[in-house]
Amino acid sequence: MISADNLPLHATGSDTDFTVEQYRQLLQLAKKNYKFATYDAIPFGERFVLWRHDCDYSLNRARRLAEVENEAGICATYFINPHCEFYNPLEADQARLIREILAMGHKIGVHFDAAFYSTDNERQLDMQVQHEAALIHQVFGVKPTAFSFHNPNTFLISCDQESYGGLLNCYSKRLKSQVAYCSDSNGYWRFRRLHDVLSDATDSCLQILTHPGWWQESPMPPRQRIFRSVYGRAESVMRNYDDALENSGRVNQVGGLQVLRFIRSVNPDLFELCDYLWNQRRFDSLFIELWRLHESQIRRLSQSVFLNMWNAPASKINSLFQDAKRTINSQDLLRLVFDNTWLYVCNTDDVTYQEWLDVHNQLLAGFDTADHQRIEKGCIYLCNFIKSLAAWGRLQPIKYDGLDNLRNEKECVHEASENSVPSQDPRWESLERSLAGNENGQPKTKKN
């Protein structure tokens, strides 16, 4: 039963319990052994389960669980905290999620944060719960029928009257004493593991508490689940900001970050990572990510040239790029495939490129450059280089920028090789000789 003194029994519970697929199975198990009830019509004396969600971290995850429950034909109650630091139920996008939950037939309740008011007596509690219930009713057009405490302390647990502020108290004396309780607080099963509770089905009635933020598509530790909820919302807020300016025709002043904008249309996930690193001024990490993109672009452009212009055998191209013992320097590959035309295309020179390649190698080796301004300039250099090379590739017979969809090299080779006819192209043979001429797999090239 519910008590502030209860100690968790499953603090080391398995993270694999908290996936959406596992959640589906728990719902089916509960349906098999119990009748689902809601707080406005508790069938005391019968066999039932009250299924409740305290929305502490993410309304997006709440919306996801509501969808799963709706598919299973189950009605749950979602308790909303008007003072939550992780979401704002009065924000348009977040309010839309709550309305969608209600539209699926679920109930809504108040997740009451007494710490916001410094509540210390039951008279205050009664008025404050009534006030928050009225607020939710006004905004969403649905009157809550129950409330739950957020982070209840000993005093709040002692407030065990049947109702406060006209709402049923989920911690009432009757519920605490007559209805068995199971909770996933803090990302693990408190007291008992829910799967065991539902499988044993020895309790005649149950109150199940879950927090939607804990339930993700794949297993992960609790802190990582919260990280995903928090940063997922932050990314959404930033997207809304960018889109709002674009849709209103206003200039989005982003400073040096403007050089990254082209990545957004190529790979939104990569853009979000680079955007985060830039704004956090983590230029060392950003430089490495951009160099990785730059090298993959060179490989893909080279593959396309080998297949579509040099008619090289796909098997040999695969061997060239998939040999784990062979490391191909991007500068050397550019020179071997494109001669020195890339220097003019990308508005750079061999010496400057080599300097930034040395910086890249130092960063990978763990050396602290300590000069963040210089590394920021290197990030700008790489962005301009990648964009220039992409523009050049689109104008070539291959008509490929080396970035599109950031596809796996093997897929590009496989698709293009269907119509490729191996030939004795002297350029391919020269490339093979250059790569084979060094015992470490590095091409021997003539430096300018």
Half-sphere exposure (Cβ direction) of 110: Cα atoms closer than 13 Å: 32
Q: What number is the average pLDDT over the span 29-36? A: 96
Residues 123 and 208 in one domain: yes
- Rounded Cα–Cα distance for residues 336 and 333 (Å): 5
Question: What pLDDT, on the 0 to 100 scale, is given for residue 11?
Answer: 46
- Rounded Cα–Cα distance for residues 170 and 148 (Å): 5
Whether residue 287 is contained in a domain is answered as: yes
Q: What are phi and psi of 262, to 5 degrees?
A: -65, -25
Task: Give the domain CATH number at 150.
Answer: 3.20.20.370
Which residue, of 214, 243, 262, is where some domain finishes? 214
Q: What number is the average pLDDT over the span 373-395? A: 91
Would the pLDDT of 13 be above 60? no
Who has greater pLDDT, 309 or 17? Answer: 17
Which residue, of 192, 214, 236, is where some domain finishes? 214
Give pLDDT tens digits for 179-213: 999 999 889 887 789 999 999 999 999 999 999 99
Give pLDDT tens digits for 122-142: 999 999 999 999 999 999 999
Residues 315 and 432 in one domain: yes
The partner residues of 148 in beta bridges, in order of sequence, read 111
Q: What number is the average pLDDT over the span 155-168? A: 96
pTM over 0.85: no
Question: What pLDDT, on the 0 to 100 scale, is given for residue 316?
Answer: 78
Which residue, of 162, 183, 214, is where some domain finishes? 214
Q: What number is the average pLDDT over the span 74-100? A: 96
Considering the chain, what percentage of its residues have pLDDT values greater than 70? 88
Residues 324 and 187 in one domain: no
Residues 282 and 191 in one domain: no
Who has greater pLDDT, 25 or 188? Answer: 25
Residues 300 and 161 in one domain: no
Residues 296 and 198 in one domain: no
Whether residue 233 is contained in a domain is answered as: no
Q: Please state, in angstroms and as integers, the Cα–Cα distance from residue 135 to each residue in 131, 168, 380, following that order.
A: 6, 17, 49
Give pLDDT tens digits for 51-68: 999 999 999 999 999 999
**Domain membership of residue 399 as a residue range:** 278-436
Question: What pLDDT, on the 0 to 100 scale, is given for residue 407?
Answer: 47
Residues 317 and 187 in one domain: no
Residues 104 and 19 in one domain: yes
- Rounded Cα–Cα distance for residues 195 and 235 (Å): 34
Q: What are phi and psi of 371, to 5 degrees?
A: -105, 85
Whether residue 390 is contained in a domain is answered as: yes
Q: What number is the average pLDDT over the span 233-246? A: 88
Whether residue 258 is contained in a domain is answered as: no
Say how many domains are in the chain: 2
Would the pLDDT of 90 be above 90? yes
Whether residue 241 is contained in a domain is answered as: no
∠339-340-346 over CA atoms, to 5°? 125
Whether residue 127 is contained in a domain is answered as: yes
Q: Which of 79, 75, 66, 78 is nearest to 36 (CA)?
A: 75
Whether residue 282 is contained in a domain is answered as: yes
Residues 283 and 169 in one domain: no
Residues 161 and 38 in one domain: yes
Q: Which of 308, 282, 328, 324 is nearest to 420 (CA)?
A: 308
Residues 166 and 24 in one domain: yes
- Rounded Cα–Cα distance for residues 346 and 405 (Å): 22
Q: Of 37-51, 99-113, 147-161, 306-320, which gets the smallest average pLDDT?
A: 306-320
Give pLDDT tens digits for 242-271: 899 989 999 888 888 889 988 888 888 899
Whether residue 270 is contained in a domain is answered as: no
Question: What pLDDT, on the 0 to 100 scale, is given for residue 436?
Answer: 63
Residues 292 and 403 in one domain: yes
Q: What are phi and psi of 416, to 5 degrees?
A: -75, -25
Instruction: Give the count of beta carbons closer than 10 Å to the beta carbon of residue 350.
Output: 15
Would the pLDDT of 438 be above 60? no
